[in-house]
Amino acid sequence: MRSTDETMNDWRVALPELEGRRITLREPRAGDAPSLFSLLSTEEVSRFISPPPTSVEAFERYIAWSQRQRAAGLYVCFAVVPRGADTPIGLVHLRALGPGFGTADWGFAIGSEFWGKGIFTEAAELVLDFAFEVLHTHRLEARAAVCNARGNGALRKLGAEREGLLRHAFFRDGDYLDQVLWSILAEDWRRRQQDTLAWRSSVVH
């Protein structure tokens, strides 16, 4: 992460930029709406997520809403922007489920042409670090439709634990779908980070 601790602690005023090797995460802007609408409204992307805003104007309203919710300390939304580009290719959000972000859930959507390039994993790791180290989240939850093999596989790869089956929890296109409930605890994430550092150290030496 490039931002200073002072900037991190001021996230209610403005989100910091989180930088990875291939992407930057930043707060979405009104001017991002056309790109986000184009990429995230396709059937391939939207079939397993809550229906995205239905127009460019609706995306603009969502972005404005997300900024108000962030200022209230209830919601955080990052736009995923490839390094060297200016327009986003996806979104990752965090939503408080109680006072503060002690328990929160998260969701993500990335344009299908950018799948399978490691971009989601990098964005997810940056957001997980932010959740556990800056928002002081203790438990982070995610839901994915049982038939969403890509989404479930991504959560498993990040170290999330499958907790159970939520029957008919997701209504989409006239059908009720079962969802898998996943969770990551702060202690799980920190242990995973320590294991990764230990492994890298052993490889180097």
Q: What share of the chain is helix, strand, coil (3-state, %, to 5)?
A: 40, 30, 30
199 within a domain of the structure (yes/no): no
78 within a domain of the structure (yes/no): yes
C-alpha pair distances (Å), 12 with each of 15, 70, 76: 7, 6, 9
Containing structural domain, residue 62: 5-137
- In degrees and rounded to multiples of 5, residue 115 shows phi and psi of -70, 155
205 within a domain of the structure (yes/no): no
**pLDDT exceeds 70 at position 1:** no
Is residue 92 very low, low, confident or very high in pLDDT (cuts 50, 70, 90)?
very high
167 within a domain of the structure (yes/no): no
145 within a domain of the structure (yes/no): no
29 within a domain of the structure (yes/no): yes
Q: Considering its fold, how many domains does the chain have in total?
A: 1
85: number of Cβ within 10 Å = 11
53 within a domain of the structure (yes/no): yes
Position 156 scores a pLDDT of 94
160 within a domain of the structure (yes/no): no
**Comparing 189 with 49, which gets the higher pLDDT?**
189
The CATH number of the domain holding residue 51 is 3.40.630.30
**pLDDT exceeds 90 at position 203:** no
Yes or no: say if 79 and 23 are a contact pair by the CB < 8 Å rule.
no
Position 193 scores a pLDDT of 81
Q: Whole-prediction pTM value?
A: 0.89
